[in-house]
Structure formats: structure tokens, C-alpha cells
Amino acid sequence: MIPIQITIRDLQGSEALEDNIRSKAEKLTQFYQQILSCHVVVESTQKHKHQGKLYSARIDLDVPGKELVVCNKEDEDVYIAVRDAFDAIKRQLGDYAHIRRGDVKSHDNNAAQEKNSEDFN
């Protein structure tokens, strides 16, 4: 179980919203097991409007050697903003996991430079 911190600003928090966030955060371990912490901030970005308020979701995910961040996922429905933020962090976490496992080859800059110098000679 990963440590999850949930911050809700400028809107009525609810158990349903927090449970939704917790369940989505726990599912992140399917993509990468070594998550150190997860901080989710949900807030209303327009404090003075009565209709068409936008809700923003931000996720800070700490993994060994890196911090993954998704911010400014906005929607008029707070649950959709949270869903979109978690979808984006899943993609980042999947990419990070592939790199850590060595599934993604890194290009050797020296070999590329040598090849380019041979082409000019």
C-alpha cells in the first residue's frame, strides 16, 4: 500500500471523491511496484463563478530517482478531472517502468558521433 495524501481545496470534499482517488492511486502499483508516495490535489480553479466551474487535479508521484508530475487536468466534472490526471500519470509511470527495466534502448552518443565522422571522411 502506497502512502497517499489527498488535498481538496475550494470545494466540498466527499468520502466518495476520496475513495475514488484512493482506488485509482492503488491501481498505479500494477504499472510500477516501487512507488514511494502519491500526493493528489483537487481544487476549484474559478472561485467566483456559479455556473461552469472548472475543477483541477494535480498528482505528484515519487518513485526511486524521480518525481512524476501531472498538473492542470481540468474539467467541469471533478471526477473526470481526476480520471484524466490518473490516466496521464499512468502513461508517465509506464514509460518510467520500461526505462527502469531496460526495455527501452538508450542511444550511445559516442557511437553516433563516430558514425557521422566516418560518413564525412
Q: Is the pLDDT of residue 111 over 80?
A: no
Instruction: Output the nine-digit C-alpha cell for 115.
Output: 558514425
Q: Classify domain 4-120 by CATH number.
A: 3.30.160.100
Q: Which residue has the cell 558521433?
A: 113
Q: What is the pLDDT of residue 1?
A: 76
Q: What is the pTM of this model?
A: 0.78
Position 51 confidence tier, pLDDT thresholds 50, 70, 90: low
Ranges assigned E (strand) in the chain: 4-9, 37-44, 55-63, 66-75
Residue 28 DSSP label: G
Whole-angstrom Cα distance, residue 119 to residue 60? 45
Residue type at position 104: V
